[in-house]
Amino acid sequence: MPKHTTRIPRILMPKAGTDLAKWAVIACDQYTSQPEYWEKLDKEVGSAPSALRITLPEAYLEEPDVDARIHTIHDAMEQYLAGGILEELPAGVVLTSRDTGGACDRKGLVMAFDLEDYDYHLGSVSAIRPTEKTVEERIPPRLAVREGAAVELPHIMLMIDDPDCSVIEPLFAQTDKLQKLYDVDLMANGGHLTGWFIPEGELTEKIESGLARLADRSVFNAKYGVDDSKPVLPFAVGDGNHSMATAKASWEKIKAGLSPEEQENHPARYVLAEVVNLHDKSLEIEGIYRVLFGADADDVLAEAQRFFAANGGTAAVSDVPADGGQNFPFETADKKAYLTVTDSKWALPVATLQAFLDDYLTAHPAVKIDYIHGLDVLHDLSIQPGNLGFALPDPAKEDLFRGVIFDGVLPRKTFSMGEAREKRYYMEAKRIL
């Protein structure tokens, strides 16, 4: 990994005395179908300084007054900067601990990343890649919010695959030597958030060296059983993919008007994000199941056999899971069995199944699909007449990187990583103009 993929930023934080419980709010891409959540939050914040005033909840992204909202947000950013509400810290990173009531806190590092080392397009070989396909139609309305904005607040989470827990976790043995930036209960059942400031210096050099070590070619090849033909993947976007893509699109527009020298250190080139280890004990990766509605189960299963035969594999239906293949338990109103695919050209089971389902649904537009959490819900839907439900194994954590490395991007709805209230709350900010 080139050293410049990471950058030690100058982070903006609310000035001393700010009520951080009212400042920190959930990521704007949550509760998009629940405007009442945001209306309640608006009343709780009141006139206090808050990240709510300088972000646009996506619940309002398609409202008729969105342009006026964006203008108000940009004005508030300028006022927070001019009035000293937001103060710039010395160069450094923030070590974070988020308690959402589970067995373990989620540990992270807030730092900056070079958008030159990120590409969200299919076939990307960049050092930072999305885990799921980016829907480019979602970028323009978000770009309208970012363009003209003086600061950014991150809800992007970048994952590292560090099974030895060598980069982030050892830092928590040194928190007694670090400045505590915040220690606050979060609104709306968000849990508790603590952050420590790590100034640029020996410790940040160690952090960057540790991240670079994860991207060492020999380490990468051994970890994933690949040769030099597979591009190294140090960082995968685990959350906030469209926010990251919007930052990239904005930077490309800004960059076009800059000289090479001006591009080097322009603040919009570097995006603020939280790095989280995929192997953090707090992260629970859950599979997402599939249900077809209005489907003829016999036809679906017959088409599956034809599809996989045409793609170099085989598919068969049996009453028990078979050895040496990818097994997909399925259920209908009158049948429970397994669809077993052998010699799949897709690395992950979810990619195997979704490739077939996408093909089948294209040819059968009257059949609909939904993506389901929970085996009980899957069962209740699958046994209804005309429905067919497929269960999937929970993805192994290491398979998330493996899927991106081998298959490009993961299929949509591959995994779920925490509930809405557990998503990142805005706290830190950074100048982008």
Residue 235: strand pairing partners: 128
Q: What is the Cβ-side half-sphere exposure of residue 139, based on CA atoms within 13 angstroms? A: 15
Angle at 111 between CA 202 and CA 276, to 5 degrees: 100
Count CB-CB contacts under 10 A for residue 123.
7
Task: Give CA–CA dist 245/337, Å, rounded.
Answer: 41
pLDDT at 66: 96
Share of the chain above pLDDT 90, in %: 83
Three-state SS for 407? helix
Q: Give the pLDDT of residue 414.
A: 81
| Identity of residue 267 | P
Q: H/E element holding 21?
A: helix 20-23
| 274 vs 408: which has the higher pLDDT | 274
Average pLDDT over residues 365-378: 91
**Structure tokens, 293:** 């509605």
The per-residue pLDDT for 2 is 44
Q: What pTM was computed for the model? A: 0.84
What pLDDT is recorded for position 9? Answer: 98
**Token pair belonging to 432:** 């982008």
Classify residue 142 by burial, with Cβ atoms within 10 Å: 0-12, 13-18, 19+.
Answer: buried
104-108, 347-351, 394-398: range with highest mean pLDDT: 104-108
Per-residue pLDDT tens digits for 344-365: 998 889 989 999 999 999 999 9
As a three-state string, the secondary structure of 36-74 is HHHHHHHHHHCCCCCHHHHCCCHHHCCCCCHHHHHHHHH
Q: Percent of the chain, pLDDT > 70?
A: 99
**pLDDT for position 69:** 97
3-state secondary structure (DSSP) of residue 316: strand
Beta-carbon count within 10 A of 204 CB: 18
- The answer to whether the beta carbons of residues 308 and 315 sit under 8 Å apart is yes
Residues 111, 274: Cα–Cα separation, whole Å? 6
Q: What is the pLDDT of residue 119?
A: 96
The predicted structure's pLDDT at residue 126: 96
- Per-residue pLDDT of 75-105, as tens digits, reads 999 999 999 999 999 999 999 999 999 889 9
Q: Which of 283, 191, 276, 284 is nearest to 236 (CA)?
A: 276
Position 418 pLDDT exceeds 60: yes
- Residue 373 C-alpha from the chain's centroid: 18
Reading the block at residue 79, the tokens are 């006022």
Angle subtended by helix axes 349-363 and 297-310, to nearest 10: 110
176 vs 377 pLDDT, higher one: 176
| Helical (H) or strand (E) element with 158 | strand 157-160
Residue 4 confidence (pLDDT): 67
pLDDT at 86: 98
Taking alpha carbons only, the member of 274, 29, 52, 233 closest to residue 139 is 29
Burial 25-40 (b: 16+ CB within 10 A, else e): bbbbbbbbeeeebbee
pLDDT at position 318 over 90: yes
Structure tokens at 418: 């925490």
Summarised one tens digit per residue, pLDDT across range 194-247 is 999 999 999 999 999 999 999 999 999 999 999 999 999 999 998 899 999 999
Task: Calculate the average pLDDT of the chain.
Answer: 94
Res 408: pLDDT: 82
pLDDT at 1 exceeding the cut of 50: no
Least confident of 144-148, 283-287, 337-341: 283-287
